[in-house]
């Protein structure tokens, strides 16, 4: 198998992730237009959140964290990787099917656990119905996630990265069809979830077959490899639970301040765009690459992969974080201020966005540092670090909320992110040369920081020059585009002038070795 250049993989996955986010934005606009914020919308959102929460444990999260390094090493070592993948898929299917059966029976209680305010009104019955339709998606997406990990380990990124786009497209088609033929919109949206799961599974299965791995569903067996897989995945499952606790703490703190949950949610959606595109791309590409190199004993190659992943992450997210901090107010005003979202909501949401922006590099660096552990099949230490970060998050969010209000939840998220990065970085020192920055990264980092600072100063000056044009109804969209375009141009010029980036880097990164 030919090695895949890291930057090429990052751009492939990042590009498809960006496409998914754009299509997802269209999807959200259509949902708002068809069902608004009424009972059908609320019931649907709760119903779809249930399988999405569970899939982080069984599919894209804990299971793949353990599966990808083991599969990549077998692939590199010439072992029977297909038999291992088929046995893992059979075990995963068995467990998720059992969970699905229990969830279908307990659906009313699951809905109340997510939204106790639904008790006693029509939303409970609707969410229970929609939940029972949607929940089998967890089986389909878990199998899709396993196939995606298999493809990523083999350097095939397109099908796995394109699968989320299919999810959004199926939902859009379902809404258009329901509107055209007079179907029940809530049911059409709910049924689109398992249909999309089938489409995603078929897409990835065909891609895996073309790669030489047409997996079959075999009888589950508790082999030594599967025991090892479960032992590695266990702490990752617990770490996923820690993440859910962090989200719950933030929601609880926000719920004591009128409007705070909405402010935090809108800010979260904005900073998640650069985070999702960059962090997902790095996490998907770097883990199998490091696993293969470690199996082959390629210390120099591992160090190169880790350093390039770090450089790519910082080059994109440091300026993005600076921009979110500097121009948070006009960003929120232009993108969200309309209808019931008025001027009084802009300031608090912008404050939350600026705080999240300060944590953006940390959230992305976690995706660079965690593969150093996962590639070595070490999930215990990241779990322990996640618990420490959870404690930091809870103490800051709860302890500071009486002093600084709802923004304590955002500040806690950011400081917990940097706490996690500090622990991952400090304890990676015992991994040898493979986990150390190379000379190129050491030279580039201060130049990236300086170029980002130059861009931040330029944004501040340009924001002052544009003034009221950023808020006037007739000019605000053009003015924001000019502000963002100016920032991008300044950062590009400053990066080239200071040596933070060279055009030859991109050219080399897009080639296959």
Which domain-ending residue is among 221, 243, 266?
A: 221
Quote the number of domains for the chain: 2
Q: Give the closest residue to 448 by CA, choosing from 338, 320, 265, 276.
A: 320
CB atoms within 10 A of CB 170: 21
CB 327 within 8 A of CB 463: yes
Domain limits for position 334: 222-513
Q: Is 120 helix (H, G, I), strand (E, B) or coil?
A: coil
Tokens of 149: 């990990």
Please state which of the ranges 217-226, 369-378, 420-429, 444-453 shows the lowest mean pLDDT. 369-378
Do 284 and 145 belong to one domain? Answer: no
The model scores a pTM over 0.85: no
Give the whole-number percent of the chain exceeding pLDDT 70. 79
Residue 111 gets the label, from left (phi > 0), alpha (psi -120 to 50) or beta, of alpha
Do 125 and 137 belong to one domain? Answer: yes
Instruction: Measure the CA–CA gap between 150 and 147, rounded to whole angstroms.
Output: 5
Mean pLDDT, the chain, rounded, equals 81
> 448-475 pLDDT, tens per residue?
999 999 999 999 999 999 988 988 888 9
- The residues, any chain, with a CB within 8 Å of residue 507's CB and separated by 6 or more, are none
Which domain-ending residue is among 152, 187, 221?
A: 221
Do 188 and 60 belong to one domain? Answer: yes
pLDDT value of residue 223: 82
CB 500 within 8 A of CB 444: yes
Which domain-ending residue is among 180, 204, 221?
A: 221
Question: 199 phi and psi, to 5 degrees?
Answer: -60, -45
Instruction: Tell me the C-alpha to C-alpha distance, in Å, between residue 104 and each of 1, 107, 200, 229, 479.
Output: 43, 5, 22, 27, 50
Task: Give the mean pLDDT of 351-358.
Answer: 93
Do 489 and 395 belong to one domain? Answer: yes
Q: Residue 512 — pLDDT band, cuts 50, 70, 90? A: very low
> 251-300 pLDDT, tens per residue?
567 657 766 666 776 787 778 777 766 766 666 666 566 666 766 777 78
Do 115 and 190 belong to one domain? Answer: yes
């Amino acid at each position: 198998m030919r090695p895949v250049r890291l930057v090429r993989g990052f751009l492939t996955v990042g590009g498809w992730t960006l496409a998914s986010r754009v299509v997802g934005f269209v999807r959200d606009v259509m949902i708002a237009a068809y069902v608004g914020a009424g009972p059908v919308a609320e019931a649907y959102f709760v119903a779809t959140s249930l399988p999405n929460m569970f899939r982080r444990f069984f599919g894209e999260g804990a299971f793949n964290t353990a599966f990808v390094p083991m599969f990549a090493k077998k692939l590199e070592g010439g072992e029977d990787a297909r038999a291992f993948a088929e046995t893992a898929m059979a075990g995963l299917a068995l467990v998720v099917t059992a969970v699905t059966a229990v969830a279908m029976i307990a659906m009313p209680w699951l809905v109340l656990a997510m939204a106790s305010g639904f008790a006693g009104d029509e939303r409970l019955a609707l969410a229970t119905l929609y939940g029972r339709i949607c929940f089998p998606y967890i089986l389909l997406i878990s199998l899709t996630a396993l196939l995606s990990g298999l493809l990523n380990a083999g350097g095939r990124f397109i099908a796995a990265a394109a699968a989320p786009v299919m999810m959004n497209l199926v939902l859009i088609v379902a809404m258009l069809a329901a509107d055209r033929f007079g179907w029940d919109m809530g049911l059409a949206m709910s049924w689109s979830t398992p249909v999309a799961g089938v489409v995603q599974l078929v897409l990835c299965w065909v891609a895996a077959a073309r790669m030489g791995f047409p997996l079959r569903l075999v009888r589950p067996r508790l082999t030594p490899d599967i025991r090892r897989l479960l032992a590695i995945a266990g702490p990752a499952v617990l770490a996923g639970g820690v993440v859910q606790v962090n989200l719950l703490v933030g929601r609880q703190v926000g719920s004591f301040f009128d409007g705070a949950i909405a402010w935090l949610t809108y800010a979260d959606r904005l900073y998640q765009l650069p985070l999702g595109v960059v962090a997902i791309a790095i996490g998907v590409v770097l883990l199998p690459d490091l696993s293969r190199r470690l199996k082959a004993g390629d210390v120099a190659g591992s160090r190169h992969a880790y350093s390039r992943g770090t450089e790519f992450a910082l080059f994109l997210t440091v300026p993005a974080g600076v921009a979110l901090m500097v121009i948070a107010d006009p960003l929120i005003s232009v993108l969200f201020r309309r209808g019931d979202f008025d001027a009084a909501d802009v300031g608090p949401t912008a404050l939350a966005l600026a705080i999240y922006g300060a944590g953006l590099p940390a959230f992305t660096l976690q995706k660079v540092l965690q593969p150093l552990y996962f590639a070595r099949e070490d999930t215990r230490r990241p779990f322990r670090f996640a618990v420490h970060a959870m404690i930091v998050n809870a103490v800051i969010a709860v302890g500071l909320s009486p002093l600084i209000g709802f923004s304590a939840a955002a500040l806690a998220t950011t400081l917990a992110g940097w706490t996690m990065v500090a622990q991952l970085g400090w304890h990676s020192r015992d991994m040898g040369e493979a986990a150390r920055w190379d000379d190129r990264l050491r030279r580039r980092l201060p130049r990236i920081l300086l170029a980002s600072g130059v861009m931040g100063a330029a944004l501040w000056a340009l924001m002052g020059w544009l003034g009221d044009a950023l808020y006037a109804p007739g000019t605000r969209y053009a003015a924001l585009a000019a502000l963002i375009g100016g920032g991008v141009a300044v950062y590009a010029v400053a990066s080239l002038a200071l040596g933070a980036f060279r055009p030859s880097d991109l050219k080399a990164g897009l080639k296959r070795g």
